[in-house]
Amino acid sequence: MTLPLQEEEPNSTLPNIPERSLRSLLTDEDLDGLIAFFDLLSASESLRAVTQLSAKERDHLITILPSEIAAELVEEAPNEVAVDLVERLEADKAAEIMDTLGSDLQADVIGEMDQEEAEAILAEMTSEHAQDVRRLAAYDDDTAGGLMIAEVFTFRQSDSISQVLLQLASEEEEDERLRGQHPYVIDEDNKPIGVVSLRSLITSRRSASLSSIMVPAVTVLVSTPLDDLVDLFDKHSFLGLPVVEADGSLAGVVSRSAVEEALHERSEMQSLKRQGIVGDELRSMPLLLRSRRRLSWLSANIVLNIIAASVISAYEETLAAVIAIAIFLPMVSDMSGCSGNQAVGVSMRELTLGLVTSRDVFRVWLKEASIGIVNGIVLGLLIGMVAWIWKGNAYLGLVIGLALAINTVIAVSIGGIVPILLKRFGQDPAVASGPLLTTVTDMAGFFLVLSLAAFFMPQLLGA
């Protein structure tokens, strides 16, 4: 191992290898060239190059690549892409690649496949691995069971320290996955009864038995949800926690980094869901699948838009009389929609940080309403003056400004509390908050502008 990064400019990137060269290496079936190609690139660069191949080329590539390199690509890929890389391969080749992955990733990939493909691959995998995968794939994604790995570093009470040290020092590939785990002590029923600290391992006599130095282990149930795991790892400095079944038997170990990664992924998914991107869309997926997924959200949006637009429809006479109002209708609904979305964003963040709960609805509403009054007055004055100057009609300015001011208060109030209420009633606030908010702010905005215009009609026409 040399010191590559110290010698380079911090921003220097790897040699810029065009995708064409991967394609030509593949056409020539130049295996050494392909190995050298992936050796040069970082994991994410490698994956990027592979996702730009056609599905057929990708299958060909994975089939001829050595399993370890293929496994590295699968490891780097988001789950959906990982499945795509493996599922069309012959079952034995797929099983060969799967066998080299960690049990958590095996379960994630197998869990996303069709039943039939999954069974074909499991049949070809090492029976021990296949058994672990079946077990792990049954747990929910965002629980300790779904996040743990099945490989655990276990010993008996009667084992000695030197036995642990011997296995710590082992060069076996399988043992690699145990790195960073503490040695756990289990009883004859496979129940974890203790954990051994590195410190006591190093400072005690090598012939001492583990029972003399172990301390009781903190364990979590397979059903423990992600949020509780985050709290636990926040509170303690453990690198991993043993996970137990309902009967207390050891099922696996959930690591701090698996929990952090799941948290990161969830927050990314939430931000995408708010735009109606559900289920890890990547551009390497088939067009019609992506199109259908996006449409399912957009077409629900049409209905909401029609409901909001029906408010305008009810006031066609007012509009016909003062056509200038039409210019400001979208502006009022859009501006207050933005204000409301800011409140949604802050609530989502505070929910994630655990700073608000459903008990705080009133407090949040009070805070948001105050900000809505301040910002509503400022924005209402600004846009009211624009309308006045633009159309030379003070009453038009009054109508538009007043409507925006009131609608801003409505929008931030709803934006602030809707995510909290949705969460209380077991709905996903990331998906539903946005469309709900937009519909209400559009309807209220149109209604306020048009009914104020109807009220001030004589002045609007007289000026």
CA 405/CA 380 separation, integer angstroms: 5
Most distant CA pair in the chain, distance:
101
- In eight-state DSSP terms, residue 139 is S
Q: How far is the CB of 218 from a second copy (least distance, A)?
A: 6
Pick out residues in 390-429 that bind a second copy (CB under 8 A).
Answer: 390
Of 30, 35, 345, 459, the one binding a second copy (CB under 8 A) is 345
Residue 64 or 277 having the CB closest to a second copy: 277
Per-position DSSP letters for 341-377, written without gaps between them: HHHHHHHHHHHHHT---GGGHHHHHHHHHHHHHHHHH
Pick out residues in 57-76 that bind a second copy (CB under 8 A).
Answer: 76
The pair of three-digit structure tokens given for residue 55, joined into one six-digit string: 């599905």
Pick out residues in 114-143 that bind a second copy (CB under 8 A).
Answer: none
Question: Which of 20-28, 85-93, 108-116, 333-341 is the region at the interface with a second copy (rule: CB under 8 A)?
Answer: 333-341
Residue 63 or 203 having the CB closest to a second copy: 203
The pair of three-digit structure tokens given for residue 329, joined into one six-digit string: 């209708």
CA 161/CA 62 separation, integer angstroms: 43
378 binds a second copy (CB under 8 A): yes
Question: Which of 30-38, 113-121, 326-334, 451-459 is the region at the interface with a second copy (rule: CB under 8 A)?
Answer: 326-334
102 binds a second copy (CB under 8 A): no
Q: How far is the CB of 33 from a second copy (least distance, A)?
A: 21
Pick out residues in 296-315 that bind a second copy (CB under 8 A).
Answer: 297-299, 301-302, 305-306, 308-309, 312-313
Tell me the HSE value of 220 on the side-chain side, using a 13 A CA sphere.
Answer: 26
Q: How far is CA 5 from CA 2, 37, 42, in A?
A: 9, 20, 13
331 binds a second copy (CB under 8 A): yes
Decide: 23 and 53 in contact? Cβ < 8 Å: yes
Decide: 356 and 350 in contact? Cβ < 8 Å: yes
35 binds a second copy (CB under 8 A): no
Pick out residues in 268-287 that bind a second copy (CB under 8 A).
Answer: 268, 270-272, 274-277, 281-284, 287
Pick out residues in 432-461 that bind a second copy (CB under 8 A).
Answer: 438, 442, 446
231 binds a second copy (CB under 8 A): yes
Pick out residues in 170-199 that bind a second copy (CB under 8 A).
Answer: 179-180, 198-199
- Paired residues of 155 in beta bridges: 185
218 binds a second copy (CB under 8 A): yes
Q: How far is the CB of 224 from a second copy (least distance, A)?
A: 5
Residue 309 or 461 having the CB closest to a second copy: 309
Q: How far is the CB of 438 from a second copy (least distance, A)?
A: 7
- In eight-state DSSP terms, residue 207 is T
CA 209/CA 193 separation, integer angstroms: 14
Strand-pair category, 184-186 with 192-195: antiparallel
Decide: 46 and 72 in contact? Cβ < 8 Å: yes
Of 27, 205, 334, 392, the one binding a second copy (CB under 8 A) is 334
Of 33, 35, 45, 447, the one binding a second copy (CB under 8 A) is 45
Residue 98 or 195 having the CB closest to a second copy: 195
Pick out residues in 198-217 that bind a second copy (CB under 8 A).
Answer: 198-199, 202-203, 215-217
Decide: 336 and 410 in contact? Cβ < 8 Å: yes
Residue 63 or 354 having the CB closest to a second copy: 354
Look at residues 164, 177, 240 and name the one whose alpha carbon lies nearest to residue 208. 164
Look at residues 42, 30, 108, 119 and name the one whose alpha carbon lies nearest to residue 73. 42
CA 337/CA 420 separation, integer angstroms: 18
Of 158, 370, 461, 463, the one binding a second copy (CB under 8 A) is 370
